Amino acid sequence: MQANQTNSLSLDEAARAAMRSLEAGRVDLSNPHVDALMAAAPQHEVVRRLNMYRRVMAIEEPAERQAASLGSRTGIAQDKIELVAFHVDLPFAPSGIHGQINYKDVLRLAFQAAQLRAPRSKRVILTDEATIFPDDIGADEIRRFPIDSAAIMYERARAQVAYLESLADDRACVLMDSDIVVNRDPVEAFQLDFDVGLTWRSGFPDAPFNGGLILIADVRKGRAFMTRALDCYARLAVDRRLSGLFDRSLKGWWGDQYALAILVGYRPFGQRTGNAMSIDGIRTGFLPCTDYNVTLEPNQKYGRDEMRQKYFVHFKGNRKAMLGEYVKLMAANAL
């Protein structure tokens, strides 16, 4: 980043130091660096982003948190696992940055992949009262709810909680975006003894957990966790401490991931020493996206042996154009 020749190096160092502190969940240590950056270059994109990070990450949620580690469990049977996608027809891309995509084609392909790798798992769509799906969508059940499309991410979380409230306690589920491919038998993803599994990635200190894939192994505890996250989300969306930071309501985009991170706790997560945490008695596993929720890049080649190690593949944003060819390769046993 540049302010002028004499201080650009020190500003770059301050930005790096701020980011390191934020990745560790230490908003307090980031503040002097971000304050200096705001004084020198308040309109710079990097500075504005760092300021946004620290303001979101300063929000805390009371909970009893204890360090934990994950052992192994006997795998949950495939016919006890439900693969639960959410889709509602919208006249716009809710992110504001991606092009228009035919999500029904995407979802049909994702369910084709699920049929290949998890043929005994139930495929479920959560949706609104108006969206029409073709007969070949591949769902075993379509569950409908009244949905406010202007608050689509909040409504997804609300529909997921309603679904969990009706799910029998002896089931398990994968709450997944419609652009996620089940790449490996999901039984194997449940061989660690978490109650709730969150997939995490580095480089997003304010949103370390990707809300597009959440594993629920214990329905009762998963229901409690997701209800807590929904309550946190509702409060976050009207929190005056975030006033002026965003150009749209957090209920429309991104806020679900903030709510997950606030519930886990930014500082406890940043300073974790294991792969799990007990949050109000709910064993919450931290599963790396590199293995459990991997995003492929268009210009990179991936081998069959490498890809067979990945549990779920996430075709985010404009990567969805790659999905059809990927599923063809899966069907041909080339991936």
pLDDT tens for residues 295-335? 998 888 888 999 999 999 999 988 888 999 999 999 999 98
Reply yes or no on whether the pLDDT at 28 is more than 50. Answer: yes
Reply yes or no on whether the pLDDT at 4 is more than 60. Answer: no
Determine contact, residues 236/262, Cβ cutoff 8 Å: yes
| Distance, CA of 260 to CA of 157 (rounded, Å) | 11
Determine contact, residues 94/153, Cβ cutoff 8 Å: yes
Q: What local confidence, expressed as pLDDT, does residue 202 receive?
A: 94
Q: What local confidence, expressed as pLDDT, does residue 86 receive?
A: 98
Reply yes or no on whether the pLDDT at 97 is more than 60. Answer: no
Report residue 3 as tokens: 């302010």
Q: What local confidence, expressed as pLDDT, does residue 300 receive?
A: 86
208-231: per-residue pLDDT in tens? Answer: 999 999 999 999 999 999 999 999
Alpha carbon 47 to chain centroid, angstroms: 25
Q: What local confidence, expressed as pLDDT, does residue 6 receive?
A: 38
Reply yes or no on whether the pLDDT at 96 is more than 90. Answer: no
The CA radius of gyration of the chain, in Å to the nearest whole number, is: 20
Share of the chain above pLDDT 90, in %: 87
Residue 4 has a CB neighbour count (10 Å cut-off) of: 9
Q: What local confidence, expressed as pLDDT, does residue 92 receive?
A: 73
Reply yes or no on whether the pLDDT at 41 is more than 80. Answer: yes
Report residue 132 as tokens: 């029409």
Mean pLDDT of the region 191-205: 97
> Residues 6 or more apart from 249 whose CB is under 8 A from it?
150, 151, 237, 255
Can you give the residue ranges of every domain in the chain? 8-58, 68-331
Instruction: Count the helices and strands in the chain (H runs, E runs).
Output: 11, 11
Q: What local confidence, expressed as pLDDT, does residue 5 receive?
A: 37
Classify domain 68-331 by CATH architecture. Alpha-Beta Complex (3.90)
